[in-house]
Structures are given as C-alpha cells and as structure tokens.
Amino acid sequence: MDVKKYVIIGNGTAAIGCIEGIRSVDATGKITVISSENRHVYCRPLISYLLEGKTDTEKMKYRPDDFYEKNDCNVLYGKRAISLNSEDKTVAMDDGETLCFDSLCVASGSSPFVPPMEGMDKVEKRFSFMTLDDALSLEKAITPDSRVLIIGAGLIGLKCAEGISGKVGSITVCDLAERVLSSILDNECAAVVQKHLEAHGITFMLGNSVSKFDDETAYMKNGEDIHFDILVTAVGVRPNIALIKEAGGACGRAITVSEKMKTSCDDIYAAGDCTESVDVSSGSVKVMALMPNAYMQGHCAGVNMAGGESVFDNAIPMNSIGFFGVHIMSAGSHTDDSEIYEETKDGSVKKLFMKDGMLTGFVLIGDVDKAGIYTDMIRSRKSISEIDFDMLKKKPSLYAFDEEYRGKILGGVG
C-alpha cells in the first residue's frame, strides 16, 4: 500500500494530539504540519506563567525538542494555508506551494477578536495576549512605571494581569460584563475572585466600556477617563473557520465536527479551538476552546485519519485556573432550574449543580482537592442515586461509591 499523506493545519495542542493519534495507528505515513508561528510547539495558556517567571521559553515547550523528528513529521514553519480544495484534496499555501493529502486535519485554533473602538488605531502600545510573541513584545514594552489598561476580564485578560503584576506601576481591567470571568462564574463567585485580585493591586472597571481612545487615554462610557501607557486587548477570540467554510464545509460559530472529529468534507477532520461540539453536561453545541479538549479531539481525529476507530463524545467545558495562589475550578454547566448545593467559607466556595438526578456542573474556589471525582461524575453522567451523594457533595472521595466500583478502580478487579 502507498504511504498515506497526512496534512495538519496548525501546530498547537490539537495538532500534537493529532500527530500522536496518527502515530498510534500508522508508523510510516507522511505527516506534514503547517505552523504559522515560527516556534516549536508550546502551550498558549503558559504565556502568562512566562511573564510571571514560572516558566521560560525552553520549559514551556509542550513536547521535547526531538518530538517532530521522533514522530517523523515535516513542519513547515512560518507558513500559512490559504485555501483547501476538498475534491482535489489539496491545500494551497501562502508561498505558492500546493500540498496534497489523503487525510487532513484543520487545527487552526482561534484568533483574538477586537471589536472596533474609535481611536484604537492611534494607540501606539497596543497588544493582544494570545501567542508567545505577543507575550514577549508585552514583556519588552512594560516598565515598573507602566500604567496598563487591559480590556477584558476573562481568563486571558486576568491571567495577563497576574503575569505582569508586580512588574508595572498599575493595572486596570475593564469589561462590558458586570463581573469578572463572566463565562465561568456567577455573581457571587466572581465577587470572591474580584476581591482577591483587588487585594493584589488590580483595579476593576466593570459594566463599562471604552467609547473612544486617544493615544494614552481611554474615555469610558460612564464618563471616566483612564490614562494608560500600555493597552492589552483581551476581549475574546474567534474560531478560525475560513478554510473550511470557503471549502463548503459545515460551520456554526465554529467548524462542525462529528464524534469522530470529521467535518462535513470527505477526509477532512478538525480539532481544537476552531471546532464546536456537544457539551454532554447540557446537550447543547458549544465552542469549548480548552486545552484538554483540544488534545483529546486532536488525538481522536488522528486515530480516525489513520484508519483506526476513535470517538470523543464526552466533552464538557472545564477550567482550572489560579490567581495569586487561589485556585478556581469549574466544569460542566447549569441552568436556572438546576438544584444547587453550596458551601461558602471566607474566600472559599463550593457550588454543585444538579439536574435530572445527575451532577451537571460545579464551581470550586479555594479547596479543589480531588475535584476530578466531580468532573468524572459529570462526564460519565453517573446517576446520583447510584452513590452516596450526600457524602460526595461534602467531600469528593471514592468512599461515596460502592465496593465493586472501588474494587475495579483500585484492585484491578473485573
């Protein structure tokens, strides 16, 4: 049989999952990776840890230096795919070259989205906070006197704030939303986190947005002015779907994929932040732009591309993030009619959300020990009635499960 030709567009977490997935089935196929960034694979969420000094550009490599060599991949650095032809099975590149494929994975990720704001183009020191290059440019630009304005109090904006805290004069974070981390936290939890961040010197201006910029002034909708030297825009991201959309593939907000990570085009798969899929905790289709999902989707795509059998059908939104030593974990989803179990002590919160006899979501702030037991309850859609849930809700532990389950997990029985 001819050697199979694989092309992967992207060189992030999903792409690495895809390579490892392919290689778990096919040791000899030819893998070509198109990497727009001129960098060995690193994990983007680490850029804030880099600014904080918790990692460096060497340590933050997601796989060892010899990864591509060992997996026999040809990486085209600094190159972009500009269009796909699903019938001819070709990818047109920005350098004029054309690549042929038998099987393709689009792992093109997402791009920062900056809504148009008047005068933004006049701001000289303006940064996104997405790539390693963004982080390195920001690091170069800041001084101990910098007044930094961050637009966006989501995961990216707040991790950026933490990363540069202590290295700049002041940090102000503004967001149109009334609370921080509005995509994962409710008002009460957000208030706990905001208080903690404020105690570390970060100023918030929430429920507010910029109406106009001068070079170093943001005129806010509520009439206040913020003077700044450095602007970071972290409003949100948009999935990079153009390649598939223009090739006629099905897309919603992101690329539509099956449980096998296949797009609607023959022999074309997609994985990671550019895709949308079913959140099993709610049953709705979502863009779950999360590292663990990206890897698992990529791996699943890779196995299927190489002729193996794999499905990834239990994705849920989940996040583990820390700010100045306090950890926040969230997983799953909830609705207004979810039943809630709640514990709050100073600075520590636990909220579990139940519906239809199942745990569907949680938020933990502070004590996050063994949180994965809750996450597994959500992913595996275990019924609450099968276990000692009264015990489990107080403290996650295998003790809440029956002896048979424990025997299977711990004793290798069955």
Interaction site with another protein (CB under 8 A): 13, 17, 43, 45-46, 49, 54-55, 59-63, 291-292, 295-296, 299, 318-322, 325, 327, 329, 331, 368-373, 375-376, 380, 396-399, 403, 406-407, 409-412
Residues 355 and 205: their CA atoms lie apart, in Å, by: 35
Strand arrangement of the beta sheet that strand 217-220 belongs to? 210-213, 217-220, 225-227
Report, in Å, the least distance between residue 336 CB and another protein: 25
Q: Residue 208 or residue 277: which is nearer to another protein going by CB?
A: 277
Report, in Å, the least distance between residue 141 CB and another protein: 23
CB 323 within 8 A of CB 197: yes
Q: Residue 53 or residue 207: which is nearer to another protein going by CB?
A: 53
Q: Count other Cβ atoms within 10 Å, centred on residue 355.
A: 17
Strands 339-345 and 326-332: unpaired
Report, in Å, the least distance between residue 220 CB and another protein: 33
Q: Residue 204 or residue 312: which is nearer to another protein going by CB?
A: 312
Q: Residue 142 or residue 328: which is nearer to another protein going by CB?
A: 328
Report, in Å, the least distance between residue 406 CB and another protein: 6
CA-derived radius of gyration, the chain:
23
Q: Residue 146 or residue 277: which is nearer to another protein going by CB?
A: 277
Report, in Å, the least distance between residue 83 CB and another protein: 32
CB 181 within 8 A of CB 154: yes
Residues 190 and 409: their CA atoms lie apart, in Å, by: 36
Q: Residue 252 or residue 322: which is nearer to another protein going by CB?
A: 322
Residues 306 and 294: their CA atoms lie apart, in Å, by: 18
What is the DSSP secondary-structure string of 73-123? EEEEET--EEEEETTTTEEEETTS-EEE-SEEEE---EEEE----TTGGG-
CB 127 within 8 A of CB 142: no
What is the DSSP secondary-structure string of 4-51? PEEEEE--SHHHHHHHHHHHTT-SSSEEEEEESSSSS-B-GGGHHHHH
Q: Residue 228 or residue 312: which is nearer to another protein going by CB?
A: 312
Residues 103 and 8: their CA atoms lie apart, in Å, by: 9
Angle (nearest 5°) at CA 161 between 114 and 344 = 110
Report, in Å, the least distance between residue 114 CB and another protein: 25
Q: Residue 62 or residue 213: which is nearer to another protein going by CB?
A: 62
Report, in Å, the least distance between residue 369 CB and another protein: 7
Which is it for the CA torsion 123, 124, 125, 129, positive or negative? positive
Report, in Å, the least distance between residue 54 CB and another protein: 5
Report, in Å, the least distance between residue 56 CB and another protein: 10
Q: Residue 15 or residue 230: which is nearer to another protein going by CB?
A: 15
Q: Residue 136 or residue 141: which is nearer to another protein going by CB?
A: 136
Report, in Å, the least distance between residue 121 CB and another protein: 34
- What's the N-to-C CA distance of the chain in angstroms? 40
CB 217 within 8 A of CB 226: yes
Residues 202 and 197: their CA atoms lie apart, in Å, by: 6
Report, in Å, the least distance between residue 285 CB and another protein: 22
What are φ and ψ of residue 270, in 5° steps? Answer: -145, 150
Q: Residue 12 or residue 152: which is nearer to another protein going by CB?
A: 12
Residues 215 and 241: their CA atoms lie apart, in Å, by: 33
CB 216 within 8 A of CB 208: no
